[in-house]
Structure 1
Amino acid sequence: MKKKVAFYTLGCKLNFSETSTIARGFQEEGFERVDFSENADMYVINTCSVTENADKRFKTIVKQAQKVNPEAFVAAIGCYAQLKPEELAAVDGVDLVLGATEKFKITDYINDLSKNDMGEVHSCEIEDADFYVGSYAIGDRTRAFLKVQDGCDYKCTYCTIPLARGISRSDTVANVMKNAAEISAKGIKEIVLTGVNIGDYGKGEFGNKKHEHTFLDLVKALDQVEGIHRLRISSVEPNLLKNETIEFVSNSNSFVPHFHIPLQSGSDAILKLMRRRYLSNLYVDRVRRIKETMPHACIGVDVIVGFPGETDEHFLETYHFLNGLDISYLHVFTYSERDNTAAAEMVGVVPKNVRSKRSKMLRGLSVKKRRAFYESQLGTSRTVLFEGENKEGYIHGFTENYVKVKAPWNPELVNTLHEVELTAIDEDGVVRFEFVSSSVKA
């Protein structure tokens, strides 16, 4: 009988891509992968430590696994496992905790899958995380998350990622192209590029800081991959998003007009406290440059509320800054204190209820921004890639510029591209459309 293994992933697209690669390793060792809700011999939880809630959810997920099979072997990997291995090892039911370098060799650490009295820890000093492991995840039948870079050399005062993932390092262009070709061969139509700081792409392994290739080199190479109709850049720092990259994307065969650019604060005073590598005027310039070359481009923004020292005036500065920008939606994060970060020691702590209120205000602004962007796209012709899930009798999809659309469920539409005209916004905020032509784009 094949041993069964199940996976649960917390956090970012990068974690999902790494879980997939680790899962393929198990399958090569003769394991059968099953859903996390099913009975398995081993459960692997890929953890995240970006927010307080991700930490708390870990215990809940361990309990879920134990409820299905109390005798199952439970392993924790990922960012939280690197930062607080002993804490995870002490959670009831956890048998193995692996740090940043060990997680890719997880099958080397398991023997007969018998339960341990106490979680066994194998965790490196983060300075040892100086090699690169490429990976990709196929989230559904329509798109894949392709990891191109790992780690970060930035020292933002609120962030634990450099402590959890180590120095900035990149895959080779050749290996990224090989992975992209494998994805294409599976019939996937869209690739989302992912990493910790992908704009910093090009730094080699073992602390080699020489850029053999730039992010623009990578973008140009990927634009030539056969069979991939769409390439999407997941998130790129504003100071690393160069004019040449924006210009190339605007004329690209495959890269779509969708950018996600972290801002974190619209107040220069707070940006300096965060130790970000730009001020608000650079951000304005990036948005303006994108909209000049691609007026229909979708621009998403990350923003943190409640950072230490953020007064009402600073927050309103951020609110008005975002309100005046030609952006499409926000990802709003409520600041939470993380151990071993400079921000955790800062004065001017913002009360939790004030953080919550500010978060709610920005989430409301995001709804307004998305609605305005969708309205600006009504009456235009766009290409939609349809997804594979039947959600309450509807099939959903996204245009190249990230407008979400829906139509009555039709399994023949799954993983196909169609030219449509966007016609109206439904009550749930999703866009309705009419087919421009009945022919499917290959």
Structure 2
Amino acid sequence: MENRKKVAFYTLGCKLNFSETSTIARNLEDEGFDRVDFEEVADMYVINTCSVTENADKQFKQVVRKAMKLNDKAFVAAVGCYAQLKPEELANVDGVDLVLGATEKFKLADYINDLSKNDFGEVHSCEIAEADFYVGSYSIGDRTRAFLKVQDGCDYKCTYCTIPLARGISRSDELENVLKNAYEISKQNIKEIVLTGVNIGDYGKGEFGNKKHEHTFLELVQALDEVEGIERLRISSIEPNLLKNETIEFVSKSRTFVPHFHIPLQSGSNDILKLMKRRYLREVYTERVNKIREVMPHACIGVDVIVGFPGETDEHFLETYHFLNEMDISYLHVFTYSERDNTEAVAMEGIVPANVRAKRSKMLRGLSVKKRRAFYEGQLGTNRTVLFESENKEGYIHGFTENYVKVKTPWNPELVNTLHEINLTKIDEDGSVRMEFLNVEV
């Protein structure tokens, strides 16, 4: 047993990446590796990369330097989206030994020999058209909740986005396999599963390879709702044009799906939505939010917004600001537009200066704080169910209600990964909500 090598993982980016890192880690454990924390000395460090923002590119180099400080003789492998888009760039980063693209990352063990350092980073990345098969993934053991991948790739051609170039065409897991993975997760005493993918509302669409899917996203949700042993299911980000009224209505009556939706908007200006080649106009977004509020008044609704897109004038930005200010939403994820190679937006006119982008971002972040506060205030005095997390933060344990209100109570290790009925009492100085137990463990 002393000969077992140690491997550590670092994940940049989205929930989908976390689910895939966890699957790659389990594969390596089956090959005789022991997984350790990234802060520990390891024989190999694996970095799952992201390509969504410029910041993720910079973070990669910082993570490599961190690994080299821990063990300058360690083997460093880069996998994932950035590794697919710019393999040579990653291979040239000092300390990187292996770069694996979209189709190769799940076969990491096949590319490892004796873990000795290479003089140059070795690259194995496919033409993205070859990424036409599906590998199921889910994360367990990393967090209180599990991320379950149900779909990969994207057929949309948004003018700012590199994900179709990094992950290929839209393809989905078979329903039977999703249910099998969900059942496996349920046996690990995990209380909550978050469904993830690149464009999960596209689940079951079309053909890839020789397989034609027979199931829709609604049918996936209905089938998962019946898996025994799972307390909560949460839908991660879903496009407004793909979030159908039938799905919203089903979630409102569901046994396990929680009243929380994260719906990308990107801009509140129809002019900018058209430049972005989004597949809806703001009127569709309004309809979705109104439908959710009609059947689930207490639901949490999160929004993605991009500021500083080429051609976004002050008028366009104010259109977005006022649209969001008037909408009954709960919080914002604000992204500052950053130029990405090989996208249509790079060649567009009307570049927004960096300082203007930063100012607009700050305004929307301020609006997000206001929206979250108003949402939390509307929840005070109500009874909810909380799932407690595993960290002790300055003497407190935190958790999230089904509708994504962050609560806190004095640290008690016995509460970790348990569900409790609570009453929301007051908003604390740090923005989380204090609570009282209703003496009912769920």
Query: 1:255-303: CA deviations, max 9, x gaps?
Result: 0000000000000000000000000000000000000000000000000
Could you tell me how far apart the structure 2 residues matched to 1:54 and 1:186 are? 32
Could you tell me how far apart the structure 2 residues matched to 1:96 and 1:286 are? 44
The 5 A counterparts of 1:366-405 are: 366-405=368-407
Residue 440 of structure 1 is matched in structure 2 by: 441
> Secondary structure, in 3 states, of the residue corresponding to 2:134?
coil
Could you tell me how far apart the structure 2 residues matched to 1:82 and 1:184 are? 33
Counterpart amino acid of residue 435 in structure 2: F
Q: Which residue of 176, 179, 195 maps to 2:178?
A: 176
- Give RMSD over aligned pairs: 1.0
Residue 358 of structure 1 is matched in structure 2 by: 360
Query: 1:350-395: CA deviations, max 9, x gaps?
Result: 0000000000000000000000000000011111111111111000
Could you tell me how far apart the structure 2 residues matched to 1:97 and 1:169 are? 24
Query: 1:129-182: CA deviations, max 9, x gaps?
Result: 000000001264521000000000000000000000000000011000111011
Q: Is the 8 A contact 2:18 2:139 kept in 1?
A: yes
Could you tell me how far apart the structure 2 residues matched to 1:125 and 1:430 are? 46
1:122 Cα deviation after fit: 0.4
Residue 304 of structure 2 is matched in structure 1 by: 302
Q: Which residue of 399, 410, 432 maps to 1:430?
A: 432
Could you tell me how far apart the structure 2 residues matched to 1:139 and 1:360 are? 36
Q: Is the 8 A contact 1:203 1:209 kept in 2?
A: no
The 5 A counterparts of 1:23-172 are: 23-138=25-140, 140=142, 142-172=144-174
* 1:185 partnered with 2:196: no
Q: Is the 8 A contact 2:150 2:196 kept in 1?
A: yes
Could you tell me how far apart the structure 2 residues matched to 1:399 and 1:138 are? 20
1:206 Cα deviation after fit: 3.0
Counterpart amino acid of residue 47 in structure 2: I
> Secondary structure, in 3 states, of the residue corresponding to 2:241?
helix
Could you tell me how far apart the structure 2 residues matched to 1:320 and 1:428 are? 27
Q: Is the 8 A contact 1:141 1:188 kept in 2?
A: no
Unaligned runs of 5+ in 2: none
Query: 1:106-135: CA deviations, max 9, x gaps?
Result: 100010111111000000000000000000
> When the two structures are superposed, what TM-score results if normalisation uses the length of structure 2?
0.98
Residue 274 of structure 1 is matched in structure 2 by: 276
> Secondary structure, in 3 states, of the residue corresponding to 2:4?
coil
Could you tell me how far apart the structure 2 residues matched to 1:244 and 1:61 are? 43
Residue 219 of structure 1 is matched in structure 2 by: 221
Could you tell me how far apart the structure 2 residues matched to 1:210 and 1:111 are? 38
Residue 349 of structure 1 is matched in structure 2 by: 351
1:435 Cα deviation after fit: 1.2
> Secondary structure, in 3 states, of the residue corresponding to 1:239?
coil
Residue 422 of structure 2 is matched in structure 1 by: 420
Could you tell me how far apart the structure 1 residues matched to 2:261 and 2:210 are? 28
Q: Return closer, same or farther for 1:205/1:187 CA change in 2, 3 Å cut-off.
A: farther
> Secondary structure, in 3 states, of the residue corresponding to 2:158?
coil
Could you tell me how far apart the structure 2 residues matched to 1:127 and 1:140 are? 32
Could you tell me how far apart the structure 2 residues matched to 1:252 and 1:319 are? 33
Query: 1:311-349: CA deviations, max 9, x gaps?
Result: 000000000000000000000000000000000100000
Bigger Cα displacement from structure 2, 24-33 vs 139-148: 139-148
Query: 1:200-224: CA deviations, max 9, x gaps?
Result: 0003663568541100000000000
Could you tell me how far apart the structure 2 residues matched to 1:398 and 1:114 are? 44
Q: Is the 8 A contact 1:48 1:54 kept in 2?
A: yes
Query: 1:37-64: CA deviations, max 9, x gaps?
Result: 1111111000001000000111111111
> Secondary structure, in 3 states, of the residue corresponding to 2:297?
coil
Could you tell me how far apart the structure 2 residues matched to 1:209 and 1:431 are? 48
Unaligned runs of 5+ in 1: none
Could you tell me how far apart the structure 2 residues matched to 1:231 and 1:53 are? 31
Q: Is the 8 A contact 2:260 2:404 kept in 1?
A: yes
Counterpart amino acid of residue 236 in structure 1: I
> Secondary structure, in 3 states, of the residue corresponding to 1:424?
strand
Could you tell me how far apart the structure 2 residues matched to 1:86 and 1:49 are? 14
Q: Is the 8 A contact 1:334 1:356 kept in 2?
A: yes
Query: 1:60-104: CA deviations, max 9, x gaps?
Result: 111111111111111100000000000000111111000100000
Could you tell me how far apart the structure 2 residues matched to 1:357 and 1:126 are? 37
Q: Return closer, same or farther for 1:205/1:115 CA change in 2, 3 Å cut-off.
A: farther
Bigger Cα displacement from structure 2, 138-147 vs 333-342: 138-147
Could you tell me how far apart the structure 2 residues matched to 1:349 and 1:139 are? 44
The 5 A counterparts of 1:187-336 are: 187-203=189-205, 206-207=208-209, 210-336=212-338
Could you tell me how far apart the structure 2 residues matched to 1:280 and 1:52 are? 27
Q: Return closer, same or farther for 1:9/1:155 CA change in 2, 3 Å cut-off.
A: same
> Secondary structure, in 3 states, of the residue corresponding to 1:38?
coil
Q: Return closer, same or farther for 1:132/1:229 CA change in 2, 3 Å cut-off.
A: same
Could you tell me how far apart the structure 1 residues matched to 2:66 and 2:119 are? 19
Could you tell me how far apart the structure 2 residues matched to 1:212 and 1:87 are? 40
Q: Is the 8 A contact 1:169 1:207 kept in 2?
A: no
Could you tell me how far apart the structure 2 residues matched to 1:180 and 1:189 are? 11
